Amino acid sequence: MEFVAELSLWEIYAIVCGLLGSLGILLGLIAAKRFGIALRLLPLVGIAMTTPVTERLVLPYLNDRYPVIFANKDLPKKVDHKTTLTKVDLTDHIYSYFFDLDDDDDDFDAPLVKSAQLTDLCDFLLPKFSSGEASLANYIYQFKGKDYSFSVDSADCS
């Protein structure tokens, strides 16, 4: 299933549509002997179910099973006017978020950034800490070879 998670969203929708449409044709062929309209109706029902099935079942399943693949799908992504999220990594229950700073920011203060964003970070990370998915999150900001970083763990969020 990992190869499916690596596909673009439109490809995932297309696969689900093809499967549900084919299932509709198959069921339509079986039911056509009793209900003549089934062969025309069931494939359309299958295709119509593509969006809800994909959004409510397939994407959440893939996101839960392969969170890093899904987190990296839309990257790089601008976070604000001078910060770009470039990569998300998960190794040994440690999430690492890598950012590029677009401007030279000699005044960048990682502890200040951490304290300013801690409430929002904890809202996002607490479910990951509680479930055991993550034990630590590292935030690494890079500019011209210089790294600024801080970490957040469950103790920071209590």
Show the tokens assigned to 74: 């839309």
Residue in 124, 156, 137, 70 with CA at minimum distance from that of residue 97: 137
pLDDT tens column, 13-68: 999 999 999 999 998 888 888 888 888 888 999 999 999 999 999 999 998 889 88
Q: Mean pLDDT over all residues of the chain? A: 89
* Closest listed residue to residue 32, CA positions, set 24, 106, 99, 54: 24
Element (H, E) at 120: helix 110-131
Instruction: Encode pLDDT of 91-109 as tens digits.
Output: 999 999 999 887 765 667 7
Burial call 122-142: b when 16+ CB within 10 Å, e when fewer: beebeebbeeeebebbebbbe
pTM of the prediction? 0.71
Cα distance between residue 142 and residue 135, in whole Å: 23
Question: Helix, strand or coil for residue 33?
Answer: coil
- The domain 75-157 having CATH identifier 3.40.30.10: the answer here is no
| H/E segment holding residue 13 | helix 9-31
Domain boundaries, the chain: 2-70, 75-157
